[in-house]
Structure 1
């Protein structure tokens, strides 16, 4: 079990890098990082497929198209939205907004199946809403009149990333719960290729030809692109597979909350500051609410197997 817990925490630590990478690659743009990251993800996927263990077999044409579409729309769309949220709203808001994903997926499942009484969900949902609201209000007030528009746009971008995450999760769950569900590593490889193809559509928006990077900026950019494409995608997926295989589903689901924690910690370290009082309070309320809600939905019959995303 210890190995499973360590693997799950490693996955969340790698996923949390999404919340600092877009700012760490300045002066490169979000479009530059998106194309480079998912180009590397696609190349790694193809290279791994040279080994029989990672080579998809028996997938129908329809399943290939579904996987490529999920990779292109889910991975690329999510990362672009999350990246802009981070650039516009700073360290605290995007992880907290996107961190409500496990609960919202569970709520959708409960709306369909009526598995848990809504009265039992009211306390954790109130904590989550209060936590997110406290942080949002604090950041907006601190930004002043001239910066509020950017923060509000960041909140919108974070909400868009959350919506894409949920849509991806539901679509991916339909595939992974099917009787002929593909192997997890094979399915991630197919989506990695789809992500690379999808990112190519963003090439006209990049600054590679108009403002080429050089020297330390280029090395910094390539380093972050490699980290996000390899560690944040394939290694994270591999570790999550270990966690899923070695841990009870109830425990594995609760580990997802660690992504929010890592994202917040990375953001504050990058900004070289301690969280403000409102950020401490808001983040604590949100994390407690998410943990309580996830624990509620981790009861037998309420699992969300197959919904989790192999990194965004």
Structure 2
């Protein structure tokens, strides 16, 4: 007897959007980790998070391991290895460097370009909305990122780094943008090809592969590094486990569900909520209100999501 794919919700747009919003709220937590762990390197933060992700995923899958991997072929494992590198390890190293060097607000809002990059790629899929129908929402996203980028270059609220360091941080943020765009598109396409693998199992299997890859980077990340007090190491690994559980295990499962229910041109817009929640958490951490430019940027991003969602709803409402 074979497992049947989960039933498709009666209202896939609403279910997909809800899953995307919650995933974004959980993913926004990852922007706080580099602020909390400034004495640790981006590589250490990435490796620790994904070692924890792999261990948690393996423990959850252990009781039904054979059944979970039954649908997997060799090509699927290679695909997960590529996606794990792009969307997890490489992305988080670049993100950590961007947050530490350019500031959390600048990094999170450059990642806010993900809706534009993913939508541009998704618009090439068969049956996708034309870019002309999404022109103004995408323009608002670009405007929002431009506003915060201008503030980051001017120094913003972070005077601890000079201009070259902030520029390097912005470059890392754009590198993370490219890495996660490739992951998002590749992950959505893989999930569509393998409907027999549930969204949760897809996340957990990705975690196992990511954890195995993280083991390869453990030695260069932790051997010969700066010494830390035992209390600092406890805090470091505690944050790694929390981020792995909420952002990786739960957040990735919700994102897989959103990717299955929404077209790529709308999936990309859901990433905005990671940016918005990252900003909210960052403002709470810094105990300040957003600047005028940051508030305008948030408004532009949210208006862009609204416009894109409205365009998809309008299209479905029209008779064929």
Q: Secondary structure at the match of 2:69?
A: coil
Superposition map of 1:1-312 within 5 A: 8-52=20-64, 55-113=68-126, 115-142=128-155, 147-178=162-193, 182-207=197-222, 209-240=224-255, 255-297=270-312
- For normalisation by structure 2, the TM-score amounts to 0.81
Do the aligned partners of residues 125 and 200 (structure 1) sit closer, same or farther apart at CA in structure 2, a change above 3 Å counting? Answer: same
Question: Matches of 2:260 and 2:161 in 1, distance apart?
Answer: 50
Do the aligned partners of residues 215 and 288 (structure 1) sit closer, same or farther apart at CA in structure 2, a change above 3 Å counting? Answer: same
- 1:102 Cα deviation after fit: 2.8
Question: Matches of 1:176 and 1:120 in 2, distance apart?
Answer: 26
Question: Matches of 1:233 and 1:145 in 2, distance apart?
Answer: 30
- 1:251 Cα deviation after fit: 8.9
Do the aligned partners of residues 226 and 104 (structure 1) sit closer, same or farther apart at CA in structure 2, a change above 3 Å counting? Answer: same
Q: Root-mean-square deviation (CA), in Å?
A: 3.3
Question: Matches of 1:117 and 1:70 in 2, distance apart?
Answer: 27
Contact 1:76 1:199 survives alignment (8 Å): yes
Contact 1:25 1:221 survives alignment (8 Å): yes
What residue ranges of structure 1 are gaps of 5+ in the alignment?
302-312
Question: Matches of 1:69 and 1:299 in 2, distance apart?
Answer: 36
Question: What does the per-residue CA deviation read over 1:169-200, in whole Å, with 9 as the maximum and x for residues that have no partner?
Answer: 22222221226653222222221122112223
- For normalisation by structure 1, the TM-score amounts to 0.82
Task: Tell me the matched-pair count.
Answer: 301
Q: Secondary structure at the match of 2:290?
A: coil
Contact 1:131 1:282 survives alignment (8 Å): yes
- 1:294 Cα deviation after fit: 4.2
